[in-house]
Amino acid sequence: MTAEMGRALGALGDGDASVRLRAALAIGTNPHAAAVDPLVARCAVEPEFSVREMLTWALTRHDPAATVPRLLPELRSPLARARSQALHTLSKIGDPRTWPSITRDLLLDADDEVARAAWRTAVALVPDGGEHALAEVLTTQFARGSRETRLSLSRALIGLGEGVLPLLHAAAQHPDPAVRAHATATEQLYRDPEAGFTLAVEEAKRVAVLGPDGAQG
């Protein structure tokens, strides 16, 4: 390892986010196997989104044979950020062999950021033929969390393709009006990707409460 790499690794813990960003950029520009552990460790605690993105980029510049085995244990970390960032990085690496590690527990994680990262990663890695089973799990999460969380779920389901439509239709009959609205909005977005999510949700809420005839009045 060069002295320059050593300085960059040390700078990953600097109190200035811009210094950490430049350090991650330098490491990714000149990847070295010794940098994998420090990069993954920093991902687990890095508070700045832009720095986390650069850390992930730096990891993708390294050999997956070194990065993937180091990332997988992070999926079981007690730290939510470690789990979410490891998932995000695995989605960028795109190694299909990591699919079995995207467990139901991660898809249903109590932390919204972890769950959102798991949804995105699962859609990116799901093998052919596994889409329906994945969609069945994801549809249990309708009406969860904030607008951003709900939009992430809708995008994940839409990313699984036409096979999700029967599941969306079934969820649109759910006794919970919030679930019905979210499922209906997701189906609208599937059919019209240019539709705004907020407008789709508001329209779906009206349909869920008033029925299709009442919503048109």
Task: Compute the distance between CA of residue 210 and CA of residue 176 in angstroms, rounded to an integer.
Answer: 14
Q: Is the pLDDT of residue 199 over 60?
A: no
Q: What is the pTM of this model?
A: 0.87
Range 97-114 average pLDDT:
97
pLDDT band at 91 (very low <50, low <70, confident <90, very high): very high
How many C-beta atoms lie closer than 10 Å to residue 40's C-beta? 20
Q: What is the pLDDT of residue 64?
A: 96
Architecture of domain 1-125: Alpha Horseshoe (1.25)
For the chain, which residues make up each domain, given as ranges?
1-125, 131-217
Task: Calculate the average pLDDT of the chain.
Answer: 91
| 56 dihedral zone (left: phi>0; alpha: psi -120 to 50; beta) | alpha
154 contacts 185 by C-beta, under 8 angstroms:
yes
Q: Is the pLDDT of residue 143 over 90?
A: yes
Q: Is the pLDDT of residue 213 over 70?
A: no
Decide which of 207 and 38 is more confident. 38
Task: Compute the distance between CA of residue 73 and CA of residue 63 in angstroms, rounded to an integer.
Answer: 17
Q: Spell out the SS3 assignment of the chain.
A: CCHHHHHHHHHCCCCCHHHHHHHHHHHHHCCCHHHHHHHHHHHCCCCCHHHHHHHHHHHHCCCHHHHHHHHHHHHHCCCHHHHHHHHHHHHHHCCHHHHHHCCHHHHCCCCHHHHHHHHHHHHHHCCCCCHHHHHHHHHHHCCCCCHHHHHHHHHHHHCCCHHHHHHHHHHCCCCCHHHHHHHHHHHHHHHCCCCCHHHHHHHHHHHHHHHHHHHHC
Q: Is the pLDDT of residue 202 over 80?
A: no
- pLDDT, one tens digit per residue, over 75-84 is 999 999 999 9
Percent of the chain predicted with pLDDT > 70: 89
Task: Compute the distance between CA of residue 71 and CA of residue 79 in angstroms, rounded to an integer.
Answer: 13
- pLDDT, one tens digit per residue, over 41-74 is 999 999 999 999 999 999 999 999 999 999 999 9
55 contacts 24 by C-beta, under 8 angstroms:
yes
Structure tokens, 28: 């990714």
Q: Is the pLDDT of residue 201 over 60?
A: yes
44 contacts 81 by C-beta, under 8 angstroms:
yes
Q: What is the pLDDT of residue 194?
A: 74
Decide which of 34 and 201 is more confident. 34
Task: Compute the distance between CA of residue 109 and CA of residue 84 in angstroms, rounded to an integer.
Answer: 10
pLDDT band at 210 (very low <50, low <70, confident <90, very high): low
Q: Is the pLDDT of residue 99 over 60?
A: yes
